[in-house]
Amino acid sequence: MSTKTENRPVRSFETHPDHYKHWKLSIEGDVARLTMDVQENEPMRPGYELKLNSYDLGVDIELHDAIQRLRFEHPAVRCVIVSGATDRVFCAGANINMLGTSTHSFKVNFCKFTNETRLSIEDASRNSGQRYLAAVNGACAGGGYELALACDEIVLIDDGNSTVSLPETPLLAVLPGTGGLTRLVDKRKVRRDLADVFCTTAEGIKGKRAVQWGLVEEVAPKSRFEEAVDKRARAIVESSPARSAEGIELTPLDKKADEDVTEYSHVSVRIDRDERTATLTLRAPDGDSPTDPAQVRALGAGWWPLAVFRELDDALLHLRLNEEQIGLILVKTEGDAGRVLSHDAVLADNAEDWFIGEVRWMIARTLRRLDLTARSIFALIEPGSCFAGTLFELALSADRSYMLDDPDQPVSLALSRMNDGAYEMSHGASRLVTRFYAEPGKAGELLADATARFDPEEAGDAGLVTVVADDIDYEDEVRLAIEERVSLSPDALTGMEASLRFPGAESCDSKIFGRLSAWQNWIFQRPNAVGEKGALTLYGKPERPSFDYRRT
């Protein structure tokens, strides 16, 4: 999963069940089993051992792949049982030595990816009817319990020793990095005083108390544990609508990469290291979409909406984890907007088709990944662009958008029904509604004419773009904006962008990421955690941490 290019580690986010090292995926009719069997001598990079089913990025890349494949390749599955292969161990969480020896940016982006992977479990339960059951067969700590919290139900083995715990605060002087605190009180509704005791009790909670406090649904002795898990799995299956659909294969991405350019079938990424920018270009399809869902399903992973957003997803992960010096993403599109809108019509008209529905949800997840990427984003709407419908969501995700107004080179943008709430942001609102937060009816007015196209003047008047510039000023306007942006503090920009992108009420999902961006980002740099005598630095060593006890 890792190669080197001029001494830079390049992590790949593509894998396949045939190549999994740490997970076993099996399908038994309408029940799937995901068994965590982490190979301790197979870390993603040298320097640590993955003992006690602890995980690193490589382990989670496989989990992310399995969740995606279950939705597309095995749509008939109703229940996914997540368990550990190691006796008396479910999962010890993120590997502490890996975290202790990682850069700050890697730690935060690792936590962000694990968060998105856990959210994709909840998304599968909510939208695909694939509900997850955590069969906690042993010790379950930190990120291991956060994985269980992402599941719909948790069964804990009652063997006198096995506990669930979030020991990060007492042991490491950091926070659970994958939404554990928020899910505890928001999702599971654990009473806040009990949650306070739980999160400062390093050894965790077991047995009947875990049920009484709402930390798990059920405990079962070792002699009845498998029976209890199977019984709950059957109950989940029977309560979920059946889907007998035949899945489609998620084929490997068509991808060619060198140091500064990555080319996919429909996406390209070009790095300018001197400017610290990446130009991300999405290309429209070559033709219109078939309208018959059966013909669409026959295209499988080659259907343009799925293909282009799988490529975008891979590109975003590459930029996050492999290109930490790149601070600004310039988003462009190329091609026939009419063909984009043709595919949008199929997406809008066939939401109940299992495959088209899955594509819609996959697009929504990818757009949320863009929203949550700690990079500045500018959309450039220029001659040949196709910012229409689903692709206009990219411009709505951007921190700013620039549109050229040149009568000799007409440029336009368009909305479609897919801009009307199909792709919710993390806090549950559409990007169009979020854009016009001060004008509650504005999004509906703009969407009233589903065929409307906006030239530069109309787009500017409607508030759909940030800057409209003529052919004399456009190039300088964009150049100066880029130069200014990349000169600013990346830390301040990350905090600013995270605060500005999500106006309005919060959801459990947006709380998880807001707190990751603010509190965990800050705590990961504090001497109490990562200083010479910090708890994370000294974990597993005989020395005790030394804290600066001043509160801020």
Q: Catalogue all structural domains in the chain, each as residue range(s) with its CATH number.
A: 2-238 (3.90.226.10), 255-497 (3.90.226.10)
- The residues, ordered by sequence, that sit 6+ positions from 89 with a Cβ below 8 Å of its Cβ are 52, 53, 137, 138, 139
Say what the pTM is: 0.95
Intra-chain end-to-end CA distance of the chain, in Å: 41
Q: Which of 479, 494, 486 is nearest to 525 (CA)?
A: 494
Q: Is the pLDDT of residue 434 over 50?
A: yes
Tell the burial category of 230 from Cβ atoms under 10 Å away from its Cβ (0-12, 13-18, 19+).
middle
List the beta bridge partners of residue 3.
10
Q: Is the pLDDT of residue 206 over 70?
A: yes
Q: Which of 282, 440, 286 is nearest to 363 (CA)?
A: 282
Q: Please, what's the b/e burial string for 122-154 (b: 16 or more CB within 10 A of its CB; e: otherwise)?
A: bbbbeebbbbbbbbbbbbbbbbbbbbbbbbbbb
pLDDT digits (tens, 9 = 90+) for 217-258: 999 999 999 999 999 999 999 998 887 778 999 999 999 999
Write down the mean pLDDT value for the chain. Answer: 94
Residues 78-86 have a mean pLDDT of: 96
- Residues shown for the chain: 552
- C-alpha 181/C-alpha 170 separation (Å) is 14
Residues 456-483 have a mean pLDDT of: 97
* SS3 state at 355: helix
Tell the burial category of 249 from Cβ atoms under 10 Å away from its Cβ (0-12, 13-18, 19+).
exposed
- C-alpha 395/C-alpha 413 separation (Å) is 10
Residues 120-135 have a mean pLDDT of: 97
- C-alpha 325/C-alpha 276 separation (Å) is 6
Confidence of residue 519 (pLDDT cuts 50, 70, 90): confident
The number of beta carbons lying within 10 Å of the beta carbon of residue 486 is 18
pLDDT digits (tens, 9 = 90+) for 371-414: 999 999 999 999 999 999 999 999 999 999 999 999 999 999 99
Sign of CA dihedral 79, 85, 91, 97: negative
pLDDT digits (tens, 9 = 90+) for 65-76: 999 999 999 999
- CA 194 to the chain's CA centroid: 30
Confidence of residue 9 (pLDDT cuts 50, 70, 90): low
Question: Residue written as tokens 């190549």?
Answer: 19
* SS3 state at 144: helix
Q: Which of 496, 542, 550, 485 is nearest to 518 (CA)?
A: 496
Residues 490-507 have a mean pLDDT of: 92
pLDDT digits (tens, 9 = 90+) for 321-347: 999 999 999 999 999 999 999 999 999
List the beta bridge partners of residue 263.
256, 268
pLDDT digits (tens, 9 = 90+) for 11-30: 899 999 999 999 999 999 99
pLDDT for position 241: 85
- The residues, ordered by sequence, that sit 6+ positions from 446 with a Cβ below 8 Å of its Cβ are 415, 432, 452, 462, 464
Query: Which tokens hold the place of 429?
Result: 């609102």
pLDDT for position 521: 82
- The residue among 475 and 10 whose pLDDT is bigger is 475
Confidence of residue 449 (pLDDT cuts 50, 70, 90): confident
Q: Is the pLDDT of residue 7 over 60?
A: no
Q: Is the pLDDT of residue 141 over 90?
A: yes
Contact 167, 142 (CB under 8 A): yes
pLDDT for position 452: 81
Question: Residue written as tokens 């429209």?
Answer: 284
Q: At what angle do helices 304-322 and 354-371 cross, to 10 degrees?
A: 30
Confidence of residue 2 (pLDDT cuts 50, 70, 90): very low
Q: Within 13 A of 75's CA, how many CA atoms are on the CB side?
A: 21
- The residue among 113 and 450 whose pLDDT is bigger is 113
Q: Is the pLDDT of residue 10 over 90?
A: no
Q: Is the pLDDT of residue 6 over 80?
A: no
pLDDT for position 403: 98
